[in-house]
């Protein structure tokens, strides 16, 4: 068993500075509707024990919820091309 530490939580933070719902569920954090977290969830989580598998899943899911950067510009290009065709 592995003890959850502040350092472990920091290792899992995404580039945007947060965790995904899937990551937190891997650590058994209760999540309400619309990704509502209970007050003090971090304090309750730190010091609790998880399995090696839970830890690995938590860390493996880091940044998986983020969209690749190249998708947005492609969408913008296609949208502009479509607008050019409509306006032509």
pLDDT value for 51 = 96
Q: Return mean pLDDT, the chain.
A: 85
pLDDT of residue 88: 63
3 state SS of 13: coil
What would the pLDDT profile of 39-73 be if each residue is shown by its tens digit? 899 999 999 999 999 999 999 999 888 776 655 56
pTM of model > 0.95? no
Would you list the domain boundaries of the chain? 2-87
Distances (CA, A) of 35 to 23, 25, 26, 47, 48: 12, 11, 14, 23, 21
Q: What is the pLDDT at residue 73? A: 65
Burial of 24 per CB tally in 10 Å (0-12, 13-18, 19+): buried
Between 43 and 78, the higher pLDDT residue: 43
């Amino acid at each position: 068993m592995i003890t959850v530490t502040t350092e472990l939580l920091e290792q899992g933070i995404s580039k945007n500075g947060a965790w995904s719902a899937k990551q937190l569920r891997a650590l058994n954090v209760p999540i309400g509707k619309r990704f509502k977290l209970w007050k003090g969830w971090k304090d309750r989580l730190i010091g609790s024990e998880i399995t090696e598998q839970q830890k690995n899943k938590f860390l493996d899911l880091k940044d998986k919820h983020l969209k690749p950067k190249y998708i947005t510009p492609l969408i913008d290009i296609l949208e502009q091309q479509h607008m050019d065709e409509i306006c032509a």
